[in-house]
Amino acid sequence: MRLLDLLHPHLDGVTEVVDTTGGGIALEPYLQLPEGTALRRADDTTVIGEGALALLSYGPDPQRHGGLDTCLAVLDRLRPGGRGLIVLGYRATELPWHRLLDALVAHRCQPLRAGGLDYVHLHGGVVFTCTEQLLPLHGSDGRPAPSTDGTATALRIAGEYVLADFVSRSQRARLLDLEREREADARELETLRQDSGARQAAEVLRERDRLAADLRAARERIGVLETRVTMLQGSTSLRVGQALIGAARSPMRGSARLPRELYGMWRGRSRGPAAAPPGAAGPGREEAAEGDARLHLAHRAFTAGPRDRLVIAGVLDARTARDFAVDAAVSRLLPHDARIVTERTDPDAVVVQLSACTAATPGPWAHTGTGTAPDLDRRLAEVLATARALGRKTVLWRDAPASAAPGLARLPWDAVLDGDTGVQPAHCDHRALDPDALRELFATRATRVRLSELARIAGAPDPLDARRVAVLADPRGPDGTALLIKQVLAQLHPPVEVLVPRPGPAFEELTASGIAVRASADGPTAPWVSDWTADPDQDRPAAHLLDLMCALECSGAAQPGLVPKEALR
């Protein structure tokens, strides 16, 4: 809600708005007062009576919002018929409302309406009036509720208090139950992690010792074979045989060289077995081994340069890997190369999709975690251990019942994501969806939205940054500025910045709502720009930017009224 939406329904009969906030917060840009209502600053002697409304502020920062003592000083000067609006720096759950209510009652003030505000530093407001008798309450639309006398209003207040307390008690009880369940689950999970961690550590140590023994035996065998090959290559019989074969293949040239070669072998007979040429065996074998390792990685997705995209290495099915690859660099792990791929790609997160491990899903990791494929369980544990050694997050994407692969729950995960992996809007049948369903899919069920949760866990670039949009506008006068602010704040997909020729205090409400206001000459920082300069007075619905971005993501093609930021340079 905007501040003017809370205030304007209560300006009937008000000719003067008195700002008593002391200048800690400049509220004038938020008010947009109608004609016939003036705004002025108050001093310590100003009396607020019939036809006047006082602006007060109350929050946790006395220097900025003011404290309760400041509000009491203003309430002392309030007379019957005078009204007031207290803007709150407290969030609803943090507001010491009992102290505020005590102050209002002591000064014979009746709250008429309270509402939340969508600003960074102001989170709510309360409209009240000083009265000698009980007045009808105001509904959510700002209009007085039907009432004929004070008795009906008192009954309504008493009834709302009792029923609201009844509902809140049940909600508080449910909250306490959920907190106790969460604490119990956390303790059980920690116990499972400790037990599984100890077992896993023991298994890793046993596997390490076995591999070390196998490696030592292999090295010893390689040493014996290298010695035999060196002896064989340096033997006189082999060299004589090679010389004779060469002469037989080319009798004209080889016969002439044969006596000289045999004489050279006879002269060097006392030198012992000839050493192999430098680098003949070792480097060649190393290059072959390295080339063999590269074969495993030829089909993988690597990134070079700054990390501006989420990088995932995962146990994923084919459809999920394809959908994720639209917004991230994805490397699918296979059992034979999972560890080396994890090391070479250095992903932001190693993701294991539970449905890709179940027996019902055919694939290289099928039956992992079911207890029927211990070799796959061991390889997956090695991958997770490698990721943790690299300082990367390990995430279980639980898109199937945990009972389908119960062994996965015993592995040490940094985070668990529940739910499906999302839907790519571009892969949907748009004709089968109405506009509201398509908007809901775009906003809550798209793969990009689900990957954003993963990016926050991994501390990686957010895929939703690709949806950031700026509005380019050129408002004409105060009325044009007010219309621009109204349309921007009403957007269901709000822009991250507004570009205008001359930023100033008139756009303070946009800044307070978390929307940057910048000069058009500086250019946008968002990847997409919606140009509103051609028709600044056009009536743009709340879904205007949402529909543009949704159409862009569904089609992948440029949309009228939406251009990439590079086009403005």
Q: What range defines the domain where residue 263 resides?
A: 226-297
Question: In this structure, is residue 157 part of a structural domain?
Answer: no
Higher pLDDT, 62 or 119: 119
Question: In this structure, is residue 180 part of a structural domain?
Answer: no
Question: In this structure, is residue 198 part of a structural domain?
Answer: no
CATH code for the domain of 20: 3.40.50
Predicted local confidence at residue 569, as pLDDT: 67
Predicted local confidence at residue 148, as pLDDT: 56
SS3 of 144-184: ECCCCCHHHHHHHHHHHHHHHHHHHHHHHHHHHHHHHHHHH
Q: Is 276 in the same domain as 315?
A: no
Predicted local confidence at residue 163, as pLDDT: 77
Q: Is 290 in the same domain as 316?
A: no
Q: Is 10 in the same domain as 88?
A: yes
Is residue 268 predicted with pLDDT exceeding 60? no
- Segment among 159-163, 182-186, 336-340, 386-390 with least mean pLDDT: 159-163
Assigned token pair, 482: 């007010």
Confidence category of residue 253, pLDDT binned at 50, 70, 90: low
Is residue 216 predicted with pLDDT exceeding 70? yes
Averaged pLDDT for residues 149-159: 74
- If you search the block for the tokens 């409302």, which residue do you land on? 97
Number of domains in the chain: 4
Percent of the chain's residues with pLDDT above 70 = 84
Q: Which of 96, 126, 146 is the last residue of a domain?
A: 146
Q: What is the DSSP string of 330-362?
A: EEE--TTTHHHHHHHH--SEEEEEGGGGSTTS-
Predicted local confidence at residue 288, as pLDDT: 43
Model-level pTM? 0.71
Assigned token pair, 130: 């000083």
Question: In this structure, is residue 398 part of a structural domain?
Answer: yes
**Alpha-carbon Rg of the chain, whole angstroms?**
37
Q: Which of 265, 297, 329 is the last residue of a domain?
A: 297
Higher pLDDT, 536 or 253: 536
Q: Is 284 in the same domain as 330?
A: no
Q: What is the DSSP string of 517-550?
A: EEEGGG--SSSEEEE-SS-TT----TTHHHHHHH
Is residue 45 predicted with pLDDT exceeding 70? yes
396 vs 433: CA distance, rounded Å: 31
Q: Is 339 in the same domain as 395?
A: yes
Assigned token pair, 94: 């943090």
Predicted local confidence at residue 256, as pLDDT: 60
Question: In this structure, is residue 351 part of a structural domain?
Answer: yes
Q: Is 18 in the same domain as 115?
A: yes
Question: In this structure, is residue 526 part of a structural domain?
Answer: yes
Is residue 173 predicted with pLDDT exceeding 90? no
Q: What confidence tens digit (pLDDT) does each residue in 410-423 have?
A: 999 999 999 999 99
401 vs 221: CA distance, rounded Å: 48
Q: Is 8 in the same domain as 134?
A: yes
Q: What confidence tens digit (pLDDT) does each residue in 512-550 have?
A: 999 999 999 999 999 999 999 988 889 999 999 999 999
Q: What is the DSSP string of 251-281?
A: HHHHHHHHHHHHHHHHHTGGG-SPPPPTTTT
Higher pLDDT, 295 or 361: 361
| C-beta atoms surrounding 478 within 10 Å | 10
Q: Is 454 in the same domain as 482?
A: no
Q: Is 323 in the same domain as 452?
A: yes
Predicted local confidence at residue 282, as pLDDT: 45
Q: Which of 458, 489, 508 is the last residue of a domain?
A: 458
Question: In this structure, is residue 542 part of a structural domain?
Answer: yes
Higher pLDDT, 548 or 242: 548
Question: In this structure, is residue 123 part of a structural domain?
Answer: yes
Q: Is 376 in the same domain as 490?
A: no
* Dihedral angle computed from the Cα positions of residues 90, 95, 99 and 100, in that order, rounded to the nearest 10 degrees: 60
Q: What confidence tens digit (pLDDT) does each residue in 273-320 have?
A: 444 444 444 444 444 444 444 444 444 555 555 678 999 999 999 999
Higher pLDDT, 136 or 235: 136
CB of 468 closer than 8 Å to CB of 445: no
Sequence-ordered list of residues with C-beta below 8 angstroms from that of 81, at least 6 positions apart, any chain: 49, 50, 51, 129, 130, 131
Is residue 124 predicted with pLDDT exceeding 60? yes
- Segment among 49-58, 136-145, 168-177, 490-499 with least mean pLDDT: 136-145
Higher pLDDT, 147 or 354: 354
Is residue 429 predicted with pLDDT exceeding 70? yes
The 8-class DSSP code of residue 559 comes to B
Predicted local confidence at residue 520, as pLDDT: 93
61 vs 67: CA distance, rounded Å: 8
Assigned token pair, 367: 């039956």
Is residue 221 predicted with pLDDT exceeding 90? no
Q: Is 255 in the same domain as 379?
A: no
Q: Is 332 in the same domain as 427?
A: yes
